[in-house]
């Protein structure tokens, strides 16, 4: 009886796992590049985050806001770690509305470290109107918000193909993308070779740009990742030592009473 039951369970498990294999083929499993921040001891690569900021600013920020990030965060430990001077200069390239002044007028001033990243739109409506009705979502926590995380965002950026397969009909302002839901997305391809000129001299291939900007978005979605992993590691070492101590203490306590 038990043997039969276990064979049945085995078959069931097999069927379920095979159906996952086939289902995921339909959904186009994202590409999985090596991320420096993967694994229990993973860390962000500073240079990669700095390049990622450049790609976000020069390519994505004309459509996507990042409301949860301040220019000051660019300086903080565990992030791109720009110098304060660099971050101040970067902030000053954007303008924010301030005021009212003595005459009751609002005015524009350059952004400072404590300002949030400046949004390209006054409000969601303006964003929609400029993008044929589709709102470019805020990217601050996008990597956490989508299943597939960094792999998905990276793949999506590289998933545009010129040849649209038969049977896929695209409305105006909708593009074919292998990794998008239903293979359709209202964002055009934005990553092209040499789309930016990296200040650190790295060759701006499509793969490079997609990886850098995705790493930057992974950081913005979890700015304390490095701290979390550091603490996790310490806790595990502590628990291992504690286990040894308890084991020997226990042995010692029971040594005299055991016989
Ligand atoms: C021309 C405007 C434009 C630019 C530039 C742009 N996007 Fe988008 N993006 C959009 C729009 C519009 C959508 C919403 C698409 C939809 O809902 O179909 C979107 C959606 C997204 C999504 C969400 C996809 C999903 O699963 O819902 C991600 C991630 C994204 N963009 C990343 C980026 C990154 C990274 C860059 C810069 C490298 C960028 N975008 C540049 C317009 C833009």
30 in contact with ligand 1, CB cutoff 6 A: no
- Asked if 110 and 95 count as a contact pair (C-beta separation under 8 A), the reply is yes
Residue whose token pair is 């339909």:
26
Q: Mutation test of ligand 1: which of 62, 63, 125, 184 has the most ligand atoms closer than 8 Å to its C-beta?
A: 63
Per-residue model confidence as pLDDT tens digits over 212-228: 999 999 999 999 999 99
Segment 188-198 shows an average pLDDT of: 98
Q: Is 16 a residue whose pLDDT tops 70?
A: no
Q: Is 5 a residue whose pLDDT tops 90?
A: no
- Quote the tokens at residue 120: 């390209």
Q: Report the C-alpha gap between 239 and 235 in whole angstroms.
A: 6
Which of 71, 111, 114, 115 has the alpha carbon at shortest distance from 94? 111
130 in contact with ligand 1, CB cutoff 6 A: no
Per-residue model confidence as pLDDT tens digits over 129-174: 999 999 999 999 999 999 999 999 999 999 999 899 998 889 999 9
Per-residue model confidence as pLDDT tens digits over 163-184: 999 988 899 999 999 999 999 9
Which residue is closest in CA terms to ligand 1's atom 2? Answer: 63
- Quote the tokens at residue 110: 């350059």
Confidence class for position 24, pLDDT limits 50, 70, 90: very low
**What's the pLDDT score for residue 192?**
98
Would you call 31 exposed, middle or buried from its count of C-beta atoms within 10 A (0-12, 13-18, 19+)? Answer: middle
Q: Report the C-alpha gap between 72 and 56 in whole angstroms.
A: 16
């Amino acid at each position: 009886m038990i043997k039969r039951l276990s064979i049945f369970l085995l078959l069931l498990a097999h069927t379920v796992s095979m159906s996952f294999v086939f289902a995921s083929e339909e959904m186009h499993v994202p590409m999985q590049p090596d991320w420096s921040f993967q694994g229990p001891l993973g860390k962000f690569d500073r240079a990669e985050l700095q390049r990622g900021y450049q790609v976000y600013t020069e390519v994505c920020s004309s459509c996507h806001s990042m409301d949860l990030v301040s220019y000051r965060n660019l300086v903080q430990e565990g992030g791109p770690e720009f110098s304060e001077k660099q971050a101040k200069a970067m902030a000053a390239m954007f303008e924010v509305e301030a005021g009212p002044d003595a005459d009751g007028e609002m005015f524009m001033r350059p952004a400072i470290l404590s300002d949030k990243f400046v949004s390209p739109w006054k409000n969601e409506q303006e964003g929609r109107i400029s993008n044929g009705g589709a709102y470019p979502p805020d990217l601050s926590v996008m990597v956490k918000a989508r299943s597939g995380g960094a792999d998905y965002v990276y793949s999506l950026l590289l998933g545009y193909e010129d040849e649209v397969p038969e049977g896929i009909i695209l409305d105006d302002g909708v593009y074919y993308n292998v990794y998008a839901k239903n293979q359709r997305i209202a964002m055009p391809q934005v990553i092209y070779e040499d789309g930016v000129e990296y200040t650190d001299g790295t060759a701006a291939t499509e793969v490079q740009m997609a990886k850098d900007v995705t790493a930057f978005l992974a950081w913005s979605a979890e700015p304390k990742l490095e701290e979390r992993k550091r603490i996790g590691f310490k806790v595990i070492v502590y628990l291992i030592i504690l286990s040894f101590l308890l084991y020997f203490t226990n042995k010692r306590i029971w040594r005299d009473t055991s016989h």
